Amino acid sequence: MRIRIVDAFTDRPFAGNPAGVLLLDAFPGDDRLQNVALEVNHAETAFAHPLPPGGEADWALRWFTPVTEVAMCGHATLATAHVLHSTGAHAGPVRFATLSGVLVATPAEDGSITLDFPTAPLTRVDVPAGVAEALGAEPLTAFDTGPNVGDLLVELADEKTVRGLRPDHRALCAHSARGIIATARAEQPGLGHDFVSRCFFPNVGIDEDPVTGSAHTALAPFWSERLGRTELTGLQASPRSGHVGTELRGGRTLLKGRAVTVIEGDLLA
């Protein structure tokens, strides 16, 4: 198997969110996929194989964390589209058949790629008991993000609070299917981002995800309503950091970013 490590939602290496990408002829057994993802040990490893022409999708795509398969992953989809386009394996928009339906990735002449994902349905909920203590900050509001994303989205007082979080990851496990998205309005929008976020996913083996495309399908409608604009830019303020451009189109959210291949080699086992 040819394997690549791609940094997604960044235009430079060693930033953004790294993902493993393997282009296959067909999917092997689930145990094999899970073992490879554990060996790669990034937030997600993407596995894709081409589908017969004439169908609703061009490639089948699955995503695995080191411990489980997930229903949606933005950065590994961006990374896969980048590999397809940069290697010539696919030209133009590519349609992926996934657990979240057909997802489309469209390359632009400037090197960016736009992903077409389903918008997460937001349902306001009471802040669960224990979340403030686990995060180390008191949320202003909280929202369930639906089954595809599976997170609790919490709004915090300001950008400084989001950046300063030092959560108890084990304590966070009790509060959502995947984890917690913490967000706040940008303190200085002139710096190129409208809101900030950090994402903690201990339930799928990821204490903090560097840049999370799927979370932005929830952050886009949340901040579009508050800021009165459908096109926004989010900064995920993890140690690696990265920007995600968002455009809300009702039931769909467009996620825009770049990617860089940093490692390429052969999987020998």
Q: Which of 39, 44, 69, 109 is catalytic?
A: 44
To 5 degrees, how large is the angle CA 205–CA 194–CA 245?
65
pLDDT at 238: 96
pLDDT (tens digit per residue) in 51-106: 999 999 999 999 999 999 999 999 999 999 999 999 999 999 999 999 999 999 99
Question: Measured between alpha carbons, how far is residue 129 from residues 122, 152, 174, 180, 267 in Å?
Answer: 20, 13, 10, 14, 45
**What gap in Å lies between CA 32 and CA 53, rounded to an integer?**
27
**What gap in Å lies between CA 124 and CA 142, rounded to an integer?**
6
Residue 251 pLDDT greater than 90, yes or no? yes
pLDDT (tens digit per residue) in 32-42: 999 999 999 99
Asked if 20 and 264 touch (Cβ cutoff 8 Å), the reply is no
Residue 133 annotated in active site: no
Torsions phi, psi for 110 (to 5 deg): -80, 0
In this structure, what token pair is assigned to residue 230? 């459908």
pLDDT at 175: 86
DSSP 89-108: SS-S-EEEEETTEEEEEEE-
What secondary structure letter does DSSP report for 128? P
pLDDT at 190: 83
**What gap in Å lies between CA 92 and CA 178, rounded to an integer?**
33
pLDDT confidence of 148, banded at 50, 70, 90? confident
Q: Classify 219 as helix, strand or coil.
A: helix
